[in-house]
Chains A and B, each alone.
Chain A
Amino acid sequence: GESVGLHLPTLSVQEGDNSIINCAYSNSASDYFIWYKQESGKGPQFIIDIRSNMDKRQGQRVTVLLNKTVKHLSLQIAATQPGDSAVYFCAEPDSSSGSARQLTFGSGTQLTVLP
């Protein structure tokens, strides 16, 4: 079936370095993607989103890149800080449900920022 998945379950980076978290998707018709951040003991928090008519979108210290050719998106965090330590999920509307309101979440990547 269609799925959204993550390449790596864990990522460790030095404080101040840039982080890149990857996500692969299998549905070529997917037209909208969301990145969420989930800190320990908290709910997923919206970070940034991107539509398929764009290949790049920037926020505060974060950039999402979308490569529709290889069905891959990435979340880049500049100058990673200890507060960035969390699990990061990519999500897309669930095409199998018939409702764009349902989201399919990837398994998540645990980002650990080292001092």
Chain B
Amino acid sequence: DAGVIQSPRHEVTEMGQEVTLRCKPISGHDYLFWYRQTMMRGLELLIYFNNNVPIDDSGMPEDRFSAKMPNASFSTLKIQPSEPRDSAVYFCASSLSAGKETQYFGPGTRLLVL
């Protein structure tokens, strides 16, 4: 299996621009998680989906952030408009509903908002 796939791996944009991050979970996994990682705050859960349905979005910082999962193999995290404080590494992770709660992470998207 290829593991969790994220794109782009790096993104540099200017304040005010729209940013879209993409994720393909491991095939067969029915949970998908979006995290943000910074030096100051560590790993923060933003939102997670079960069977393509958003379950908990309480970690989404503001209305500027939105996430969708149109099908079992694809999810997006969108920031509009972006701000410098959104600069971070964004990770996508997936897990199976049956058995262990172990989450498998993608390589992350490094976002820099100038």
Interface residues of A in 58-88 (CB under 8 A from B): none
- CB pair A43–B102 under 8 Å, yes or no, is no
Q: Is A25 an interface residue (CB 8 A)?
A: no
Task: Please report the C-alpha to C-alpha distance between residue A46 and residue B42 in the assembled complex, in whole angstroms.
Answer: 17
Give chain A nearest CB distance to B102 CB in angstroms.
Answer: 6
Asked if A43 and B105 sit within 8 Å, CB to CB, the answer is yes
* Smallest beta-carbon distance A53→chain B, Å: 14
| Sample (13) of A-B pairs whose CB atoms are under 8 Å apart | A36-B105, A42-B108, A43-B91, A43-B107, A44-B43, A44-B91, A44-B105, A45-B105, A99-B56, A101-B48, A102-B48, A102-B56, A103-B45
How far is it, in angstroms, between the C-alpha of A45 and the C-alpha of B93 when the chains are bound? 10
CB neighbours (8 Å) of B93 from chain A are 43-44
**Interface residue? A100 (CB, 8 A):** yes
Among B42, B43, B100, B108: residue with most chain A CB under 10 A = B43
Q: Do B45 and A102 touch (CB < 8 A)?
A: yes
Complex alpha-carbon distance, A43 and B48, angstroms: 17
Interface residues on B, range: 20 to 34
B25 at the interface (CB under 8 A from A): no
* Residue numbers in B under 8 Å from A44 (CB-CB): 43, 91, 93, 105
Inter-chain contact total with CB atoms closer than 8 Å: 48
Are A34 and B102 in contact (CB-based, < 8 A)? yes
Distance (Å) between the CB of A54 and the closest chain B CB?
13
Binding site for A on B (CB under 8 A): 4, 31, 33, 42-43, 45, 48, 50, 55-56, 91, 93, 95, 97, 100-108
Chain A interface size range: 20 to 34
* Other-chain residue from B4, B42, B43, B55 in contact with A99 (beta carbon distance below 8 A): B55
Q: By the criterion CB–CB under 8 Å, are B50 and A101 in contact?
A: yes
- Binary CB contact string for chain A from 76 to 112 against chain B (1 if under 8 A, 0 otherwise): 0000000000000100010001011111010110000
